[in-house]
Structure 1
Amino acid sequence: MGVGGLTEVDEPAFAGLAERHRRELHVHCYRMLGSFEDAEDTVQETFLRAWRRRETCAGRSTFRAWLYRIATNACLDLLARSRPEPAAGGEVRWLQPYPDRLLDEVPAGGADEPENAAVARETIELAYVVAVQHLAPRPRAVLILRDVLGWPAKDVADLLGDSVNSVNSALQRARAGMREHLPARRHEWTGGSQDAGTRELVRRFTEASVAKDLDRLAALLRDDVRCSMPPTPGLHVGRAAVVKDWTESGFLDLGPLRTVATWVNRQPAVAFYLWRESESAYLPLTLDVLRVTGGAIAELTTFHADRFPRLGLPERLT
């Protein structure tokens, strides 16, 4: 849409214009923050700021770009207020999953809206989001605006109140940080590919998990597999360490399990439900999100049952 005349638009009409961009702005804030819920709050803050400052839209290139400017600054404000230090040590305790069914809501756009294509790529996978969280906030914003959204350096500099040289320098530092924190051999990721090999691996993982067969599970893991369970602290690296953690956590003592297959962050995931005699039903237990590399599980991120409602998963199975 054009940017003129926003000061004459009433609040319901303005909300309707902004609402068209809610999902893509939410995805943008999610990349910046790593938390689905924080992203949701930040989008609400973005819309409030946009309405209150609607006169500042005049002269901007597009209404959409103006909203991205406000959303990015809202994210930077939240990070300065609640997360002054980036993540460290390879784990992100505030990490939350993003359901594919909501990623699919981002509207298809033209070549001038690269965000729409980026949603389908690896920049939404958990490993990428985790790596981004290890960057300082401003380089993080520069990386996402330049490499994911495709903004020119001049526009990013304008948004951040910096020079183009400063933005280019921050981008180089951010890219170096991403190379340090991203897993190796990214060219072997299956990512969002729902190929037969990935489906078969997920099936075998699910069956072995329900059977609580540690030997079969171990055979599906890479030697350098990484396992975490945000917000619980602790990152387990290597097959032996992961199996040891499963053994010590009481996994083998769990009662009967059932599963529901799903997809989050363009990755296969398995929701586990545990039989509860008192409820005569299987109730939510955990969600395992898999990253598959070279035909084996390279990373396993486990989320608690409180994520199930956001992911649209059943409240119980009978």
Structure 2
Amino acid sequence: MGEQTFEEIAAQYRRELHLHCYRMLGSVTDADDVMQEILLAAWRGLDAYAGRSSLRTWLYKIATNRCLNAIRDGKRRPPAEPLPPFEPPEPTRRGDVTWLQPYPDEDLDDRLVKREHVQLAFITALQRMPPRQTAALILVDVLDFQLTEVAELLDTTPTAIKGALQRARASLNTPAALRDPAPRDTATEHAVAKRFAEAFVADDIATITTLLTDDAWLAMPPAPHEYFGPPAIAAFLRASASARTATLALEPTGANLHPAFTCYFVNGETRTNTGILALTVTNDRITTITRFLPSL
């Protein structure tokens, strides 16, 4: 098989394999790194590929096992914890998935990717599972592989995959979201996000508080600090605003099919990118604010 043919194959499957690696690893950076290994392994293994399974299945076998190797070998290392330039309030808890990164909407086809399979809550839940349970859940419930196919991909038995799948489903905080997701109301999402952005850049903490559900969370990977409930979130936002020395600006973007914004500090003619802010909107209220801080 010639090089041009391989390039065509790689182009055909690159985006879905990259998204698969992101689901497995929770990090676009790590997915980029593993994809290089996958493409190299596939190129080297083309002569040995005997067509016993579909080409797509064979590529997913390589991709899944490379991701499992990366996790096992410690290649997915949590980034350094950033130090805030102010004294933050005591967090409600310290998050354990500090390597989580947003996936750009521009790289997703929302006609083909189900919202519930890329939302940040789901990606975070995947990171907390044992890796082989994560792989089983993604391959069966997200990608629709059969148990027998997944058993072959992971060099085990269908019975073992069935057990891993049951445990993975049970560990999800909101398993019903996979079976019966609520329809997306994009108009409401955009309206809520617009109100939030206007209040956020104005440091209007009172308005932000009215937009939050009673059980809302604020998370800031790679910082582990997480705040639960409107009072705790408001306390952190006040502390942050009081220490800011530059103007804050938000530009609409999209991440993981959430309404999101690119954050900037503006000081005269200088604009400094300070990360991505993504919102989870349920009905007309915000349930999660995820502020992705720049990695060191």
Instruction: Report the TM-score when normalising by structure 2.
Output: 0.87
Give 2:191's aligned residue.
200
Please give the root-mean-square deviation of Cα atoms over the aligned residues, in Å.
2.6
Distance 1:217 1:273 in 2: 19
2:167 aligned counterpart, secondary structure: helix
- Residues 182-228 of structure 1 show CA distances to partners (whole Å, capped at 9, x for unaligned) of 4998868665x422x22111111011011111111111111111111
Does residue 1:159 correspond to 2:153, yes or no? yes
Does residue 1:29 correspond to 2:10, yes or no? no
Per chain length, whose mean CA-contact separation is higher, i.e. which structure has more relative contact order (CA < 8 Å, sep 6+)?
A: 2
Give the superposition deviation at 1:80.
0.3
Give 1:102's aligned residue.
107
Give 2:124's aligned residue.
130
List gaps (5 residues or longer) in structure 2: 79-92
List gaps (5 residues or longer) in structure 1: 1-8, 107-115, 308-318
Does residue 1:177 correspond to 2:166, yes or no? no
Give 1:10's aligned residue.
2
Give 1:265's aligned residue.
256
Alignment of 1:15-94 (within 5 A): 15-82=7-74, 91-94=96-99
Instruction: Report the TM-score when normalising by structure 1.
Output: 0.81
1:292 aligned counterpart, secondary structure: strand
Distance 1:120 1:167 in 2: 23
Does residue 1:292 correspond to 2:272, yes or no? no
Contact 2:25 2:76 (8 Å CA) reproduced: no
Distance 2:274 2:77 in 1: 31
Distance 1:94 1:59 in 2: 37
Give the superposition deviation at 1:42.
1.1
Give the superposition deviation at 1:89.
7.0
Give the superposition deviation at 1:61.
2.7
Give 2:209's aligned residue.
218
Give the superposition deviation at 1:232.
0.7
Distance 2:168 2:272 in 1: 42
2:73 aligned counterpart, secondary structure: helix
Give the superposition deviation at 1:257.
2.4
- Residues 37-88 of structure 1 show CA distances to partners (whole Å, capped at 9, x for unaligned) of 11111111111111111133213332111111100000000010117999x9
Identity across aligned pairs (percent)? 39
Give the superposition deviation at 1:250.
4.0
2:48 aligned counterpart, secondary structure: helix
Matched residues, number: 281
